[in-house]
Amino acid sequence: MEDLKRTIRSYTHVSDADMKFGLQFYKKQVLKKGAYLLKPGQYIDSFYFMKQGCVSYYTMAEGTAQVMEFFTEGYFFTDLYAYIEDIQSQSYLEALEDTVVYTISKTDVQKVFDHSHQLERFGRLSMQRTFVINFQRINQLRNLSNQERYLELLKKRPTLFQRVPQYLIASYLGLTPVGLSKIRKRLSQK
């Protein structure tokens, strides 16, 4: 769990004792491609750290997936909305590849925060990081064209396009597969 440790310490100082206390609760979990961590109607009980693989986070509407995010190596993730609000999820968390995650339960997260001010600070700072990512996402949705957002994604996460089918990327960008195909054609003609 070295990379989990490293990722936590990239946010704030955590003593060896507190780190040991925190890490004891994480369990390794292996997922085959196509397996689900979460389906609509379920309560989400865990937080995950992505060790290896790719998980898509999406809802279904009128038979098509609305992809909210692709979680890849180094991401802390869960259905954060349902997790925080403590409501039945409306979403799927599905492995798009064979995947390894480290899992910690909600009650254990609470234990860790109660026990360690340093790790509670890590919690606050990682929530801040999530804020920044979402803020930039909102700005992109508001101020960039679909074409510009496609180019941004291509620049920021180029490997995603090798790992994930295009129609899911279209969905992530808020487009239909036809729309994304048009954009790609337009760009290739320049």
Partner DNA sequence: AATTCTCATTAAACTAGTTTAATAAATATC
Partner DNA sequence: GATATTTATTAAACTAGTTTAATGAGAATT
Q: Could you please report the per-residue DSSP string of 29-62?
A: EEE-TT-EEE-TTPPP-EEEEEEES-EEEEEEET
What is the size of the binding site for DNA (CB under 7 A)?
A: 19
The entry of DNA, a copy of itself, none that residue 51 binds, CB within 5 to 8 Å by partner kind: none
Nearer to a copy of itself, 85 or 148 (CB): 85
Answer with the entry of a copy of itself, DNA, none that 165 interacts with (C-beta below 5 to 8 A by kind): DNA
Give the pairing type, strands 92-95 and 36-38. antiparallel
Q: Which lies closer to DNA via its Cβ, residue 87 or residue 138?
A: 138
- Rounded CA-CA distance 117/71 in Å is 28
d(CA 179, CA 1) in angstroms, rounded, equals: 41
Q: How many CB atoms lie within 10 A of CB 120?
A: 14
Residue 159 interacts with DNA (CB under 7 A): yes or no: no
**30, 59, 87, 93 from 142: Cα distances, Å:** 38, 21, 28, 26
Using CB under 7 A as the binding rule, whether residue 151 contacts DNA is answered as no
Compute the least distance from the CB of residue 176 to DNA, in Å: 4
Residue 34 binds DNA (CB under 7 A): no
- Of these partners, DNA, a copy of itself, none, which one is at the site of residue 7 (CB under 5 to 8 Å by kind)? none
Helix (H, G, I), strand (E, B) or coil at 176: coil
Binding site for a copy of itself (CB under 8 A): 61, 66, 68, 80-81, 84-85, 113, 117, 120-121, 123-124, 127-128, 130-132, 134-139, 141-143, 174
Residues that bind DNA (CB under 7 A): 145-147, 165-167, 174-186
